[in-house]
């Protein structure tokens, strides 16, 4: 059998010391024609392979270059050198794949994140990105483990849909009709989607929430975890056109229950990463500390990465209303000294600078904001009773995290049929096309709630990466769809 190997992560524990082992991986560096640093992606740490002089001929030595792949056999021994506890004393080295040293883009030096985005197909081989994507894997596993332990049903909601859950209109069209202008037209000159593949206008999903509510009305508690799409022309460090969302929906649940679950969920994910990715987090913590040293003192983050994560897991999230949040912002030195780029008044959709001020400057902990103005929120959010005239609010919640702003958005859903229909009509959402959704209110409606967690923002928060494009394997952004 060819693949009779031991992963480097297991070899470095020392439990195989004294044994004949086989390792396979890619060369990170080769020095003095003897010492090979080999890495297979199971850990950021390389294992040193010692090929004694005379073991390999000159032709083979010339082929051991950065990026080349090797199969190494030998004895795992205790290392006398600095930087490693064990090493492989090679008895044979087989080159599986050559790498042209002059053309290989990842030389043994520090590369900028901007450069690595241009070669995203190779950046997994760097320490930074191998750490980030191992953590991403761990967080994804923890998502399923958390909900499974709580008895939630994992529901696969559709990628192609005819509904727009957010009413935003920023969607990617799905069609098989020709785009050269020859598509069939209706009498009034619009494209006739009745002749399209699905017989109607369809798009890539912006959320699995509405379909998730259908599941919750039968299973009580479900969650979705899948890709979502927004055709927003946003070239920022926080936005992607294709990203992953986790969306639980819970029957017999109100806005407070929703907040409790979301807070527990975030803390669970972070704890899981800290317990299972300690080496990778330590590396990223050090990387972030070095980055912070390059910044002016007044721009440096207050906490290191691991310190920030512990702070979130150990702190009770602050809970305030939107009205209280606006009052805090209006009374803040930043507002009074005109340091906010965007204005503050009751009724605004708070910007990232406002959210980060609340979290990082005022409370210095994660914050859950509830009771947003109905005018800036979606049709399905439950209207709060007893509001002041002109200040109608909904049972919505956003969780704001340090360094990122909003990380979770959710609400108690409007379970009252009459109020939901009135809200949809007010927002010009055709009720006849949403009869399937309204049926959940016609037949056994119950108080229910849910939220959405942008998975990439969660990975960004846990890894400390400054750009969301660096926590997804192949970023989809305006004017960019490589690979």
Q: What is the mean pLDDT of residues 120-144?
A: 97
Per-residue model confidence as pLDDT tens digits over 351-410 = 999 999 999 899 999 999 999 999 999 999 999 998 888 899 999 999 999 888 899 999
Residue 166 pLDDT exceeds 80: no
Whole-number Å distance between alpha carbons of 126 and 283: 12
| Mean pLDDT rounded to a whole number for the chain | 94
Q: Is 139 helix (H, G, I), strand (E, B) or coil?
A: helix
The pLDDT value recorded for residue 29 is 94
What per-residue confidence (pLDDT) applies to 483?
A: 87
What residues does each domain of the chain span? Answer: 8-109, 125-171+206-470
For position 185, what pLDDT does the model report? 93
pTM of the predicted model as reported, rounded to 2 decimal places: 0.94
Q: Which helix (H) or strand (E) holds 442?
A: helix 435-442
Q: How far is Cα 223 from Cα 206, in angstroms, rounded to an integer?
A: 16
Question: DSSP character for 477?
Answer: B
Distance, CA of 231 to CA of 363 (rounded, Å): 34
Q: Answer whether 23's CB lies under 8 Å from 39's CB.
A: no
For residue 167, pLDDT beyond 60: no
Q: What percent of the chain has pLDDT over 70?
A: 99
Residue 28 reports pLDDT greater than 60? yes
Contact 372, 391 (CB under 8 A): no
Mean per-residue pLDDT, 468-475: 95
Average pLDDT of the segment spanning 253-267: 98
Say how many Å lie between the first and final Cα of the chain, rounded.
Answer: 33
Quote the pLDDT of residue 2.
81
Distance CA(250)–CA(242), nearest Å, equals 26
Rounded Cα–Cα distance for residues 216 and 154 (Å) = 11
Structure-block tokens of residue 357: 């001020």
The stretches of 255-345 forming alpha helices (DSSP H) are: 255-276, 278-293, 305-314, 322-330, 333-336
Least confident interval from 46-55, 157-166, 205-214, 346-355: 157-166
Four-residue CA torsion sign, 278, 280, 282, 285: negative
CATH number for domain 125-171+206-470, candidates 3.30.930.10, 3.40.50.150, 3.60.21.70, 1.10.3720.10: 3.30.930.10
How many of the other CB atoms lie within 10 Å of CB of 341? 9
pLDDT value, residue 107: 84
Half-sphere exposure (CA, 13 Å, Cβ side) for 381? 26
pLDDT at 236 over 70: yes
Statement: residue 450 has pLDDT above 70 = yes
Residue 168's pLDDT is 54
CATH class, 8-109 region: mainly beta
**Short-list 436, 441, 438, CA closest to 415:** 441
| pLDDT at 108 (0 to 100) | 81
Token output for 101: 């040293």
Q: Higher pLDDT residue, 364 or 414? A: 414
- Structure confidence at residue 212 as a pLDDT band (50, 70, 90): very high
- Side by side, which strands form the sheet with 448-454? 153-154, 221-229, 242-251, 448-454, 405-412, 393-401, 367-373, 318-321
pLDDT number for residue 389: 85
Could you give the maximum distance between any two Cα atoms of the chain, in Å?
Answer: 88
């Amino acid at each position: 059998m060819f693949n009779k190997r031991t992963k480097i992560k297991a070899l470095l524990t020392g439990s195989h010391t004294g044994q004949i082992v086989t390792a396979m991986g890619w060369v990170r560096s080769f020095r003095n024609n003897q010492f090979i640093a080999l890495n297979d992606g199971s850990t950021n740490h390389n294992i040193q392979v010692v090929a004694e002089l005379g073991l390999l001929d000159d032709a083979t030595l010339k082929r051991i270059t950065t990026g080349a792949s090797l199969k190494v056999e030998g004895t795992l021994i205790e290392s006398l050198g600095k930087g490693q506890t064990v090493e492989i004393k090679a008895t044979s080295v087989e080159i599986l794949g050559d790498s042209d040293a002059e053309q290989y883009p990842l030389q043994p030096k520090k590369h900028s994140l901007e450069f690595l985005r241009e070669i995203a197909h190779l950046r997994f081989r760097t320490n930074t990105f191998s750490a980030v994507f191992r953590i991403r894997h761990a967080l994804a596993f923890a998502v399923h483990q958390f909900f499974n332990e709580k008895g939630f049903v994992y529901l696969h909601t559709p990628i192609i849909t005819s509904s727009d859950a957010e009413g935003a209109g920023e969607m990617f069209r799905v069609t098989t009709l020709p785009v050269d202008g020859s598509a069939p037209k209706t009498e009034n000159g619009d494209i006739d989607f009745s002749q399209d593949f699905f017989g109607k206008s369809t798009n890539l999903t912006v959320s699995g929430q509405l379909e998730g509510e259908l599941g919750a009305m039968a299973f009580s508690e479900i969650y979705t975890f899948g890709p979502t799409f927004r055709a927003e022309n946003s070239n920022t460090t926080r936005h992607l056109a294709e990203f992953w969302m986790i969306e639980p929906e819970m029957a017999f649940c109100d806005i407070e229950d929703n907040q409790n679950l979301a807070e527990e969920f975030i803390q669970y994910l972070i704890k899981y990463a800290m317990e299972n990715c300690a080496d990778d987090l330590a590396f990223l913590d050090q990387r972030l500390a070095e980055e912070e040293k390059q910044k002016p003192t007044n721009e440096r983050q207050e906490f290191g990465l691991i310190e920030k994560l512990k702070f979130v897991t150990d702190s009770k999230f602050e809970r305030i209303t939107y009205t209280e949040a606006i009052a805090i912002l209006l009374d803040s030195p930043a507002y009074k000294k005109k340091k906010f780029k965007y204005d503050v008044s009751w009724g605004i959709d708070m910007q990232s600078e406002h959210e980060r001020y609340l979290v990082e400057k005022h409370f210095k902990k994660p914050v859950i904001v509830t009771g947003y103005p109905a005018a800036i929120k979606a049709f399905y959010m439950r209207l709060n009773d007893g509001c002041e005239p002109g200040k109608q609010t909904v049972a919505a919640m956003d969780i704001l995290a340090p360094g990122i702003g909003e990380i979770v958005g959710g609400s108690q859903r409007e379970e009252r049929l009459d109020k939901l229909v009135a809200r949809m009509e007010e927002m010009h959402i055709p009720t006849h096309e949403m009869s399937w959704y309204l049926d959940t209110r016609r037949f056994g409606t119950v108080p229910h709630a849910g939220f959405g967690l942008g998975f990439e923002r969660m990975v960004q928060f846990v890894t400390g990466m400054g750009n969301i494009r660096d926590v997804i394997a192949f970023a989809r952004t305006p004017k960019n769809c490589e690979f």
